[in-house]
A and B are shown apart, each in its own frame.
Chain A
Amino acid sequence: MIDLPTSHVIILAMVLFILGLIGLLARRNILFMLMSVEIMLNAAGLVFVVGSSKWAEADGQLMFIFILSMAAAEVAVGLALILQFYKKFNTLDADAASNLKG
């Protein structure tokens, strides 16, 4: 059995994070922006899990569980915001809400 290099897993997590960041910056649909945030959170969780198995400690997986619960709460609030956004502007384009009320 060959040793699985930890650095390659971290490179994979970095690639996934950058893909999520590109999605967040390039897409203007607010639903896709939320999905990109999910991708980035998932990549961060991957780094925690690989750290957990490298040092044989449970701490990394615990951090992954907390990331998971944070992502769940974030998605619930984010989707409620998207619903209100769609009702108000009748579009999902994030640029439609570029002006603040004032």
Chain B
Amino acid sequence: MIALFYIAAFVAVISTLMAITRFNAVHALIYLVVSLLSVAVIFYLLGAPFAAALEVIIYAGAIMVLLIFMVMMLHLGETSIQQEKQWLNWSVWLGPGFLSLILLVEMSYLLVVSNEPGEGLTVVDATQVGIALYGPYIITVELAAILLLAGIVGAYYLGQEKRRVLHRFLNQEDND
């Protein structure tokens, strides 16, 4: 139980360290995904299965896909094929693959052998979280909804192309 936590913590620290020291953004993102997965395993060990699932789905899934998508968008051009060949080199995914293999073994051990947290800790499952979320915390849910709406509108406004206004005699950029 306690050894599992230290292994997951070791994987988290190593992969985070690798993530902030890579020069290639895609390599760093792969290590960052491994780091988030190991934090998800730690959440599971701490008796928070719902938070662990959310960590995998939203952090390692949605947010990292958004970042990888952005890296792909920024690297358009002649060199992109060369670069993707370099990214798919086997030595690139060997390190993250090994670290996530450790996490997989740990996770399957947890699922098969025991899913109880340590003695000082209690499992807080999705039912309790849901009751609290839509009970006393309903105003915060609404605030989060407003925040996400603001995020969508902001991303849409900032992400759009700058309009070029063509007058009859002068070609100037619309500065808004």
Contacts and interface: CB of A to CB of B under 8 A. Distances in A.
Nearest to A26: B20
25 contacts: A1-B119, A3-B118, A3-B119, A3-B120, A4-B121, A8-B5, A35-B19, A39-B20, A42-B36, A46-B39, A46-B43, A49-B48, A54-B120, A54-B121, A56-B124, A58-B132, A65-B51, A68-B54, A72-B58, A72-B62, A72-B148, A73-B148, A76-B155, A77-B154, A80-B158
Interface residues on A, range: 35 or more
B71 A20 contact: no
Interface residues on B, range: 35 or more
Given A35-B32, A53-B121, A68-B58, 19 more contacts: A3-B119, A4-B2, A4-B119, A6-B120, A12-B13, A12-B42, A35-B67, A38-B63, A42-B39, A46-B42, A52-B51, A53-B48, A61-B48, A64-B48, A65-B129, A76-B66, A77-B155, A79-B67, A86-B74
B39 to A, nearest CB: 6
Report whether over half of chain B's contact residues are helix, strand or loop; otherwise say mixed.
helix
Given A52-B48, A53-B47, A72-B151, A62 B137 contact: yes
